[in-house]
């Protein structure tokens, strides 16, 4: 039986109310993030159905690892979220696994992939910096020229961007993004537009300078598209951290699960899913995990799915 999940919402100083469009009853008008599939301590998704209803995903991960193919990791490896950037996010960077393990109590680092759900005209993201070394960036910061070094990219709905750990980045105002990432909440801020937060969190410039990968050339991903059973399947990214695939389903799709467990989010449309003969309604905003016990899955309806897995 698939594990349907209750999302966790996080208010952000830069958040808004666009997550209502995903059939969510958001708690405020400044919700910046919906953690749709998460076992992270900072936002644990609760299971809504079946024998594990009322438990959190991390509990089931720990106590029933057989549902995940006995995956050999202490912590659930992935996190899927939707970001509503009414205002720009801080300019920040995430560490890789080795740095996070040594300096952040053995946690995961954070590589992530963005799918641009919506973007206002002229909306842009920041991906990377033009400087070539830690020493050069320190000098630019001291001279208040840091912002001039950032690489800005205008974005359009439907685009994908892979943001490996060590990449300076930010999502700009007026953008809604779906993200698949390593299950990490470690962020080193370089600049936060001099905003005052209810609980001010200092900038983390020293750690940021340690982990930045300099002179990266990053651009949008051109998906590999194929038609399967008359449905469009777009292969977005596949690496050591995760694989991310977009499905545009119209009609009936007999889905062959590629790994023992898969994370699924419905970004548009509605319909139903039949798993081992049992029918489940799904709609825009649904988030669930197909477990190792879900052997026969059929999607029926018209919807857009993002499916992520290791």
Please give the positions annotated as active site: 189
Residue 74 has a CB neighbour count (10 Å cut-off) of 8
- ∠ CA(156), CA(111), CA(102), 5° rounding? 155
Residue 89 has a CB neighbour count (10 Å cut-off) of 26
267 Cβ contact list (under 8 Å, min separation 6): 22, 115, 117, 178, 284, 303, 304, 305, 306
Residue 271 has a CB neighbour count (10 Å cut-off) of 18
The tokens for 51 are 């024998």
Give CA–CA dist 255/304, Å, rounded. 14
Give CA–CA dist 13/29, Å, rounded. 10
Which ranges of 40-194 does DSSP label H, i.e. alpha helix?
Answer: 57-63, 97-103, 134-142
- Give Cα 114 distance to the centre of its chain: 7
Phi, psi of 7 (to 5 degrees): -70, 160
Give CA–CA dist 117/19, Å, rounded. 11
Over its C-alpha atoms, the chain yields an Rg (Å, rounded) of 19
Give CA–CA dist 122/193, Å, rounded. 20
197 burial via Cβ count (<10 Å: 0-12, 13-18, 19+): exposed
Q: Which of 251, 247, 131 is nearest to 190 (CA)?
A: 131
């Amino acid at each position: 039986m698939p594990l349907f999940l209750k999302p966790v919402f996080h208010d952000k100083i830069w958040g808004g109310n666009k997550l209502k469009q995903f059939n969510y009853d958001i708690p405020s008008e400044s919700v910046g993030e919906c953690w749709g599939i998460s076992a992270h301590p900072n936002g644990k998704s609760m299971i809504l159905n079946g024998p594990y209803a009322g438990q959190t995903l991390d509990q089931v991960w720990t106590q029933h690892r057989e549902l995940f193919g006995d995956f050999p990791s202490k912590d659930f490896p992935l996190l899927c979220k939707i970001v509503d950037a009414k205002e720009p996010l801080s300019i920040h960077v995430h560490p890789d696994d080795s740095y996070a393990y040594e300096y952040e109590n053995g946690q995961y680092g954070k590589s992530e992939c963005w799918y641009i759900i919506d973007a206002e005209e002229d909306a842009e993201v920041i991906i990377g910096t033009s400087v070539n070394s830690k020493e050069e960036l320190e000098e630019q910061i001291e001279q208040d020229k840091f912002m001039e070094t950032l690489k800005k990219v205008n974005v359009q709905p439907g685009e994908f961007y892979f943001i490996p750990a060590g990449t300076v980045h930010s999502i700009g105002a007026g953008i809604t993004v779906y993200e698949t990432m390593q299950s990490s909440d470690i962020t080193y801020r370089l600049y936060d537009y001099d905003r005052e937060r209810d609980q001010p969190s200092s900038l983390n410039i020293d750690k940021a300078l340690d982990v930045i990968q300099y002179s990266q050339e990053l651009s949008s991903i051109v998906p590999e598209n194929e038609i399967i059973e008359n449905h469009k399947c777009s292969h977005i990214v596949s690496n050591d951290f995760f694989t991310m695939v977009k499905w545009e389903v119209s009609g009936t799709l007999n889905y062959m699960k590629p790994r023992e467990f898969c994370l699924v989010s419905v970004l548009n449309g509605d319909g139903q899913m039949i798993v081992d003969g049992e029918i489940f309604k799904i709609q825009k905003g649904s988030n669930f995990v197909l477990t190792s016990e879900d052997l026969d899955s059929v999607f029926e309806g018209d919807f857009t799915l993002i499916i992520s897995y290791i």
